[in-house]
Amino acid sequence: KQEVTQIPAALSVPEGENLVLNCSFTDSAIYNLQWFRQDPGKGLTSLLLIQSSQREQTSGRLNASLDKSSGRSTLYIAASQPGDSATYLCAVIEAGTALIFGKGTTLSVSS
């Protein structure tokens, strides 16, 4: 059974710092991996989708990498801002199933 783990569970950084969020999964036979952001009391906003044949995706200050063989993905946030404060969720999808989520990393960026 696929399990997704995110480390750390919480992270506090000063504004301007570069940071890395980690995601690991137990079964490398995934279809895609997707990173989401969730603000308190809100739905999920998709940040980046990495398909199984890809190794990374970039959007603005965000860069996500995928290493299927080792069961790992990282989300790199450059020059963090207070507006980046949120919970970041990693999810994998296997063929014929739905998204399987980690429990998230709650990020707090102080000004």
Partner 1 sequence: SQTIHQWPATLVQPVGSPLSLECTVEGTSNPNLYWYRQAAGRGLQLLFYSVGIGQISSEVPQNLSASRPQDRQFILSSKKLLLSDSGFYLCAGGLIGNTIYFGEGSWLTVV
Site residues, partner 1 (CB under 8 A): 31-32, 34, 36, 41-46, 49, 51, 89, 91, 93, 97-104
Q: How far is the CB of 37 from partner 1 (least distance, A)?
A: 11
Contact 6, 21 (CB under 8 A): yes
Q: Measured from the CB atom, is 31 or 78 closer to partner 1?
A: 31
Q: Measured from the CB atom, is 12 or 51 closer to partner 1?
A: 51
Q: How many Å apart are CA 61 and CA 47, to the nearest integer? A: 11
